Amino acid sequence: MTDPRMLKLADLLVNYSCALKKGENILIEAIDIPHDFTKALVGAVSKAGGRAFVWLKSNEINRALMQAGSEESWKLTADIERKLMEKVQCYLGVRGNSNISELSDVAGDKQKLYEKNVWKRVHQEIRVKKTRWCVLRWPNPSMAQMAEMSTEAFEDFYFNVCTLDYAKMSKAMQPLRKVMMATDKVHLKGPGDTDLTFSIKNIPAICCDGKLNIPDGEVFTAPVRDSVNGVIHYNAPSLYRGVTHTDVRLTFKDGKIVEATSNNTKKLNEVFDTDPGARYVGEFAVGFNPWCTKPMKDILFDEKIAGSIHFTPGQCYDEASNGNQSAIHWDLVLIQTPEYGGGEMWFDGKLVRKNGKFLIKELAGLNPEKLK
C-alpha cells in the first residue's frame, strides 16, 4: 500500500506546484527514487486529466555517461531531450541520490560538456523558461546522515517541510516582495568578515511559494551586476560538481569575484573560471522556511533556511534579470541566526533583519513562529 504521505505530496506537486490542467502534458524526471512515488505521481496526473511522460534515471549511470561522454554524444542527447521538453507544459524533477559525491571523480571538462549541452539547452533554455516546473529531492539515508538525524526522524521532517501550507506562506511573503521592490541599497553583515554592499534597484523581486521548488520559502531578486563590493564569508557547506566546499570566502570589486578561497580553493576557482559570467552574481535571495534550520549539503533545503540568504554566482533568472549569463548557477548560503554567528540585513540604511529575525512589523509574519 502506498504511503499516504506520498499520495499527499504527489497531489501537492501535480495540482498546486504545477497546476496541471486537463489535457496537458507533464514530464516526470525520476532520478533514483522509489517506483511507488513515481506511480503516485502518474496516478495524480491521470486523476487531473493530464498525460504523464517519465524519464527514469540514475546518478551512477549519469556518472558513467559523463566519464565516457563526448561533445557529439551530449549534443545528440540534448537534441532528443529538448524535443520532448518542448512538447510538455509542465515538468517535475524528483531527484534522489544515495551518494552525494557520485560525481566527485568526474573531470571538470567532462562535467562542462554535460552542462553546456543538456543542462543549458534542455533545462535553462526550455524547461526553466517555457514550462511550469517544480524540482524536489527525495529522502534517503545519506540525507539523514547529513542532517544528523535517524532515517525515520528525517522522513518525518521531510514530509513536514514538503507539505507545509504554502498558500499561507505565499500570503505572508508578499510584504517582503514589496519591500525589496522598493529597495536600492542592500548591506549584509555577518559572522567572520562578511561586509557586503550592492544594489537591487529596479530588478523584480519574485516569491517562491512551492511553485518551482519543494521545499520552498524565499523571495529572490538579483544585484545590479556591477554594484557588488566587499566580502561575503559563507558559513553553510555547499556541494557542487560532486565536491563539498566549506569556508567559502569571496571578495568582490565592482560586481566581479576578484578573490575566492575555500577548503578546496583550486576546485572553487575551476567553477568560477567556467566562463566570464561565473565570476558575477545572478541572484540574491532571502530564505525563511521554518522547518529548515540547519544546513545538510542539499541546496533545495539549505537555500530555504529560516534566517538565511543566498548569493549566487552565475546565471540570473529571466524573471529577475540583471543581464548576467553563465553556464553555472551556484547557490551559496549565509546563515545569520545566532547559532551560526548572527548577522544583519539592511535595506536603504534600515535594519530589516537581525540574527535571522525580521524586525519591521510588515515582515514579522515570515518569522518561524508565525509560519509553522
Within this chain, do residues 275 and 321 fall inside the same structural domain, yes or no? Answer: yes
Within this chain, do residues 277 and 312 fall inside the same structural domain, yes or no? Answer: yes
Within this chain, do residues 191 and 303 fall inside the same structural domain, yes or no? Answer: yes
Within this chain, do residues 247 and 348 fall inside the same structural domain, yes or no? Answer: yes
In this predicted structure, the answer to whether residue 1 has a pLDDT above a threshold of 80 is no
Tally of structural domains, the chain: 2
Within this chain, do residues 62 and 112 fall inside the same structural domain, yes or no? Answer: yes
Within this chain, do residues 138 and 191 fall inside the same structural domain, yes or no? Answer: no
Within this chain, do residues 16 and 46 fall inside the same structural domain, yes or no? Answer: yes
In this predicted structure, the answer to whether residue 200 has a pLDDT above a threshold of 80 is yes
Query: Residues with Cβ < 8 Å from 307, sequence gap 6 or more?
Result: 287, 288, 335, 336, 337, 353, 355, 356, 357
Within this chain, do residues 180 and 129 fall inside the same structural domain, yes or no? Answer: no
Range of the domain at 269: 166-371
In this predicted structure, the answer to whether residue 191 has a pLDDT above a threshold of 90 is no
**Mean pLDDT of all residues in 201-228:** 95
> Pick from 162, 190, 224: which residue ends a domain?
162
> Pick from 121, 141, 162: which residue ends a domain?
162
Within this chain, do residues 110 and 216 fall inside the same structural domain, yes or no? Answer: no
Confidence of residue 106 (pLDDT cuts 50, 70, 90): very high
Within this chain, do residues 63 and 210 fall inside the same structural domain, yes or no? Answer: no
- Give the least confident one: 24-33, 123-132, 160-169, 224-233: 160-169
Percent of the chain with pLDDT over 90: 83
E strand residue ranges, 64-194: 90-95, 132-137, 185-189
Residue 130: the pLDDT is 95
In this predicted structure, the answer to whether residue 242 has a pLDDT above a threshold of 90 is no
Q: Average pLDDT of the chain?
A: 94
Residue 335 grid coordinates: 546563515
Confidence of residue 175 (pLDDT cuts 50, 70, 90): very high
User: Is the backbone of residue 49 left (phi > 0), alpha (psi -120 to 50) or beta?
Assistant: left
**Mean pLDDT of all residues in 180-207:** 96
Instruction: Give the C-alpha separation, 269 to 248, whole Å.
Output: 11
Instruction: Give the C-alpha separation, 152 to 174, whole Å.
Output: 35
Instruction: Give the C-alpha separation, 9 to 26, whole Å.
Output: 16
In this predicted structure, the answer to whether residue 97 has a pLDDT above a threshold of 90 is no
pTM of the predicted model, to two decimals? 0.79
Percent of the chain with pLDDT over 70: 100
**Mean pLDDT of all residues in 298-322:** 95
| Residues 315, 124 contacting (CB under 8 angstroms) | yes
> Pick from 162, 182, 217: which residue ends a domain?
162
Indicate which CATH number applies to the domain containing 64.
3.40.1830.10
**Mean pLDDT of all residues in 7-28:** 96
Other CB atoms within 10 Å distance of the CB of residue 188 = 22
Within this chain, do residues 158 and 187 fall inside the same structural domain, yes or no? Answer: no
Residue 313: the pLDDT is 98
**Mean pLDDT of all residues in 129-146:** 89
Within this chain, do residues 251 and 292 fall inside the same structural domain, yes or no? Answer: yes
**SS3 (DSSP) at 335:** strand
